[in-house]
Structure 1
Amino acid sequence: MLKDTAYQVQIRHRSTKALNPLWSDWSPVVIVPAELEQKPEVTMNITLSNGTRKVVLTWKKMPHPRRTV
């Protein structure tokens, strides 16, 4: 990965604790810098329904990285 380059990223997750784990849906595509200059402020929302847990992570838009010349 190149330092001053942005990449398109999608993620999904599968439990490491469940007996028969399922994959989550893919996240929306987001564009992220290869390196963060500041730690993101992350908010976690957990909803329990019929024995399943839905975890939603959100964070504020990050500033664009400063370019060094």
Structure 2
Amino acid sequence: MSDIDRAPKGPDLYIHYCEHQGCDNWGSWGNSPSATVTTRWWCFEHFPHKSFEQEQALRRKLEDAEGGTTVQ
């Protein structure tokens, strides 16, 4: 059987939101200790495994947003 005989199938869509209670942001940061354990998903703000540098960058971005400055 060749690929020409098969009907085209699009990619499966996985929907996962942040696991933090009360947060409805998209969970783009996933973590799983192994392939047999279900992946848990968080938004970047709530991701518990950030490096020190990532944590500092997020803190500066949030502080600047409170002050009304635009950060990119």
TM-score calculated relative to the size of structure 2:
0.25
Larger Rg, first or second structure (1 or 2) = 2
Query: Which has a greater percent of helix?
Result: 2
Structure of higher RCO (CA pairs closer than 8 Å, 6+ residues apart): 1
TM-score calculated relative to the size of structure 1:
0.25
Query: Which has a greater percent of strand?
Result: 1
